[in-house]
Amino acid sequence: MSRGYTMEKDDYLKRLRRIEGQVRGIQRMIDEDTYCIDVLTQLSAVTKALQSVGIGLLEEHVNHCVLHAAQQGDEDAARAKVAEATKAIERLVRS
């Protein structure tokens, strides 16, 4: 079974590699004793970028996995997928 994000996989990987580079940049900033506020600004940018990826994956999950379960007519499976999405939303909101 394919995942909901399969069609966008390359885009997600590209974005995550960019985020990985940003994190390495933050490590360099710390190593070079960069001003605290500048480091915090970069941390905020990375956090927002990760949240964006998370929201995209969540949207793909709802549009693919949850919708597919609902279309199959299996109410229990559909409810389980909705519960998974709800828990994922809770985790994203808390992060």
Please state, in angstroms and rounded to a whole number, the distance separating the CA atoms of residues 58 and 85: 7
11-16 — which CB contacts under 8 Å span 24+ positions? 12/53, 12/56, 12/57, 15/49, 15/52, 15/53, 16/53
38: containing domain: 8-94
Indicate whether 3 belongs to any domain: no
Indicate whether 19 belongs to any domain: yes
Q: What is the pLDDT of residues 35-51, one digit of tens each?
A: 999 999 999 999 999 99
pLDDT of residue 74: 82
How many domains does the chain fold into?
1
Q: Which of 45, 43, 47, 89 is nearest to 66 (CA)?
A: 89
pLDDT of residue 1: 57
Specify the CATH number for the domain of residue 41. 1.20.58.1000
Indicate whether 1 belongs to any domain: no
**Mean pLDDT confidence for 9-23:** 95
Q: How does the average pLDDT of the chain come out, rounded?
A: 90
Indicate whether 23 belongs to any domain: yes
